[in-house]
Amino acid sequence: MATEGGSALGPLDVRRVMAALPHRYPMLLVDRVEELVVDERITATKAVTINEGFFQGHFPDRPIMPGVLIVEALAQAAGVLAVESLGLAGSGKLVYFMAIDGAKFRAPVEPGVLLRLEVAFVQKRATVCKFAGRATVDGQLAAEANFTAMIADPPA
């Protein structure tokens, strides 16, 4: 299927996500891509379960997903978008965080929800990309951030 500005892909299962990202359990925070519009945007999902290791300590009496991991999930969705849009699958290139701006946390993310990750390109260049991301639960904004990433070879 085609859309304005780019071709749409999706849904993509976790195997396709792992083909785009080097992350693996317990750091892989994208379970599925619902839609990816090349050169534009991605919508992905993270199933948040009580089995996540971080819930043991954050917090034992009121489990809440750490905000930094929500931003990491957004960044991983952006990584899939960048890899697919720039044709980097299988190249060994990595997408590294450079900056996080305007991160805001609006509602706690608790176990048992589907965290919807929406990320769009703000600026796209061959080696540096800027993104705007939003994480929602049942349509309610949980977190938002703008961030910059660079495309680079892995360390030697």
Residue 142 · residue 70 · CB < 8 Å: yes
Paired strand residues for 128: 150
Helix or strand or coil: residue 106?
Answer: coil
DSSP element (H, E) containing 146: strand 140-152
Residue 71: name the closest of 127, 17, 147 by CA. Answer: 147
Options 58, 67, 111, 146, the catalytic residue: 58
58: annotated active-site residue: yes
DSSP code of residue 35: E
Phi-psi sector, 10: left (phi>0), alpha (psi -120 to 50), beta: left
Helix or strand or coil: residue 75?
Answer: helix
- Catalytic residue numbers read 58
